[in-house]
Amino acid sequence: MRKRIIPLLFTIALLSLLLVRPTYAQEPFDELFTIDWEELKTDNFIIVYADSVAGVPDCVCGVDEAEFYAGFIDGVYNDLVDIFDTELETPINLRLFPTEQSYYEVNPIAQRIPGVVAHALNNREEIAIALTRTQALS
């Protein structure tokens, strides 16, 4: 089930970036945690993931999470390019938030709406995904 829902959610978030010019990955604003951000590059994306979060042993983090997304996002991007006959400026930033609190920092409304798992950060030109919320989709 996770393998079907996550690409669909990713596709929706990617579509919201059609008019946004991506830039290279940036750190989130006012970090509450010390997050060790790493990058994994694909043909069209920079996946920014947490290698670890200081003081949070149960974070959803590590290169395995980034590699899961790397396994399908370029294919989804290519399908959208074919469908809409347009290309976005790449690379596109995809940030994988490892904790609920780190995701709330960039999307406060998510605290009140538990079904929110991803959104586009137009002001930062990236797609944000709350990994803790996608785990329940598997």
pLDDT digits (tens, 9 = 90+) for 19-44: 454 444 445 544 556 888 999 999 99
Contact 118, 128 (CB under 8 A): yes
Contact 103, 132 (CB under 8 A): yes
Q: What is the pTM of this model?
A: 0.72
The mean per-residue pLDDT over the stretch 35-64 comes to 88
What CA dihedral angle connects 104, 111, 108 and 41, to 10 degrees? 40
Q: Which range has the worst mean pLDDT, 61-65, 99-103, 133-137?
A: 133-137
Q: Which range has the worst mean pLDDT, 4-18, 40-54, 59-73?
A: 4-18
The mean per-residue pLDDT over the stretch 55-59 comes to 76
Cα–chain-centroid distance for residue 35?
Answer: 15
The mean per-residue pLDDT over the stretch 6-28 comes to 57
pLDDT of residue 44: 96
